[in-house]
Amino acid sequence: MPTQSTPPTTINAGEPASSPCRQWGVWFRSIGWAVLVMATAECLRVFTGSNCYVVVADKCCRSAQPTEQFLVNAQRAYGIRSVFNLRDENEDQAWYRRERDTCARLDITLVNAGLASKEQPPAHDFKRLILSMRDCPEPVLIHCANGNDRTSLASAFYLLLRTPASLPEARQQLSLRYGHMYWTKAGCLGRILDSYEEWLQELAKEHRPDRLVYWAEHVYQPEYVTAVLPRRKPVRDNSP
């Protein structure tokens, strides 16, 4: 008795084929668009928005220039007790007066420690930055104008001064995630950490907060000074 065979499936020319490959293609395109939208939104937040991130839970967060409402919300959400302003004291600027008055109204300590975004600070300014960061009340909000470069450096030093973080862990604050582009002129800020690490290596010592303070007070010099001075022997750290 002859066996019946299943006739082959035919697809007419011009008729779309519903195949697994086509379905996967639609799925991947959808995922691609979703990722693009999320990446665009994140870029806008980093480069034009608040650029707000938690550095250490319940202790420190970082952002771009805060508005009055942002400070109100930050105090409510994070219990902010101090604001670390890396744009320095600027009484002639409306943004500074608003920040100063809002901090006073909310009983928040305002710490002014100016940094430039594309050059290393003079020795006395760097010393002030480190000592102020060591002593400011927590929780603290660290900010500059956009939260990309100066805030990244200060957040790294916060970790080194106030937590058990290592140098590699602190360096993660200077990353593209926060808008810091190390290959631009702003990369000079990250090289401050390089100088500190080189000093530790010359002394065969590990990082400790008190050693960072010592280095800031007695050793640190900005690049535009060290570039014209002969290399000197490392200053010995007198800490145990």
pLDDT score of 210 = 98
Query: Does the bond joining 139 to the residue before it have cis omega, within 30 degrees of 0?
Result: yes
Cβ–Cβ under 8 Å, residues 74 and 48: no
pLDDT score, position 40: 40
pLDDT under 50 in the chain at which residues? 1, 11, 33-48, 228-234
- Structural tokens at position 198: 């080189």
Decide: residue 67, CB within 10 A, 0-12 exposed, 13-18 middle, 19+ buried: middle
Question: Domains, the chain, ranges and CATH?
Answer: 50-226 (3.90.190.10)
pTM above 0.85, yes or no: no
Q: pLDDT, tens digit, for every residue of 185-211?
A: 989 999 999 999 999 999 999 999 999
Q: How far apart are CA 69 and CA 85, in angstroms?
A: 17
Concatenate the DSSP letters of all residues of 4-26 into one string: P-PPPP---TTPPP--HHHHHHH
Q: What is the pLDDT of residue 229?
A: 42
What pLDDT sits at residue 6? 54
